[in-house]
Amino acid sequence: GAVVSQHPSWVICKSGTSVKIECRSLDFQATTMFWYRQFPKQSLMLMATSNEGSKATYEQGVEKDKFLINHASLTLSTLTVTSAHPEDSSFYICSAPGVGWFNQPQHFGDGTRLSIL
């Protein structure tokens, strides 16, 4: 099945630094990927849709300048949390739809746990 890989799985950094999270589709190409944020014991909240070769589409209330998304190739999307602060600490997850003869459901990466001190 479709495999989506995320890296790193856990990152701890100081307030004010920028953190980059990678999302890769390992055995298929993904022109679209999705980025979610999840707080403890809550469901996934869609942040943005990443489109290969074009600008990302952000959900209402998500700061574009804070969460920079780049989808430079058909297998890689990156999310950069700029000037991170403790309130940005969360679990970030990406997903990509599989490919096949019929539209396939989305598959998720294992998430990145971000802790800002």
Partner 1 sequence: QKEVEQDPGPLSVPEGAIVSLNCTYSNSAFQYFMWYRQYSRKGPELLMYTYSSGNKEDGRFTAQVDKSSKYISLFIRDSQPSDSATYLCAMSLIQGAQKLVFGQGTRLTINP
Does position 13 interact with partner 1 (CB under 8 A)? The reply is no
Q: Considering only residues 31, 70, 80, 89, which one is a binding residue for partner 1 as defined by CB under 8 A?
A: 31
Integer Rg of the chain from CA: 14
The one-letter amino acid code at 50 reads S
Does position 82 interact with partner 1 (CB under 8 A)? The reply is no
CA gap 17, 85 in Å, rounded: 8
CA gap 23, 116 in Å, rounded: 20
Does position 102 interact with partner 1 (CB under 8 A)? The reply is yes
The SS3 assignment for 90 reads: strand
Q: Considering only residues 85, 110, 115, 117, which one is a binding residue for partner 1 as defined by CB under 8 A?
A: 110
Taking the CB of residue 25, how many other CB atoms lie within 10 A of it? 26
Does position 116 interact with partner 1 (CB under 8 A)? The reply is no
CB of 83 to partner 1, least distance (A): 25
Which chain residues interact with partner 1 by CB under 8 A? Answer: 4, 6, 31-32, 34, 41-44, 46, 49, 91, 93, 95, 97, 102-111, 113
